C-alpha cells in the first residue's frame, strides 16, 4: 500500500502542503510552489481554494516516536521498566 500524502513538518512555507506533495511524489517542493503560483491567475485563483482544502484534508506528518497502539497506554509499565533497570544495576530503589 502506498503512503498517504501528508503535510510536511520540515519543508513548509505556509502549512506544508507543497512540501508534503514534493515528498510524496519525489520532486523538489519549489517546483510545486512555482506551479501553484503560475496556475493561480489562469484558474481564477481556484488553486488557493484547493490549497485550503488540502490543508484540512492532509494530515500533518509528525516526527514523533512510534508507539505500539495495539496495547492501551499504561504509564505504570514505563515506571516498572525503569525500576527493573535500576534493580539490574544493583542500585537500591
Residue-wise pLDDT for 56-91, tens only, equals 999 888 765 544 455 555 556 555 555 555 555 555
Residue-wise pLDDT for 43-58, tens only, equals 998 999 999 999 999 9
Give the mean pLDDT of 34-39: 94
The answer to whether the CB of 7 falls within 8 A of the CB of 59 is: yes
Average pLDDT, the chain: 78
Percent of the chain having pLDDT more than 90? 41
Amino acid at each position: 500500500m502506498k503512503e498517504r500524502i501528508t503535510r510536511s513538518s520540515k519543508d513548509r512555507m505556509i502549512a506544508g502542503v507543497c512540501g508534503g506533495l514534493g515528498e510524496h511524489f519525489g520532486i523538489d517542493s519549489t517546483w510545486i510552489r512555482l506551479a501553484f503560483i503560475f496556475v493561480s491567475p489562469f484558474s481564477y485563483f481556484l488553486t488557493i481554494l484547493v490549497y485550503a482544502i488540502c490543508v484540512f484534508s492532509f494530515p500533518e506528518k509528525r516526527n514523533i516516536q512510534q508507539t505500539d497502539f495495539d496495547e492501551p497506554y499504561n504509564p505504570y509499565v514505563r515506571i516498572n521498566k525503569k525500576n527493573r533497570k535500576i534493580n539490574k544495576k544493583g542500585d537500591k530503589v
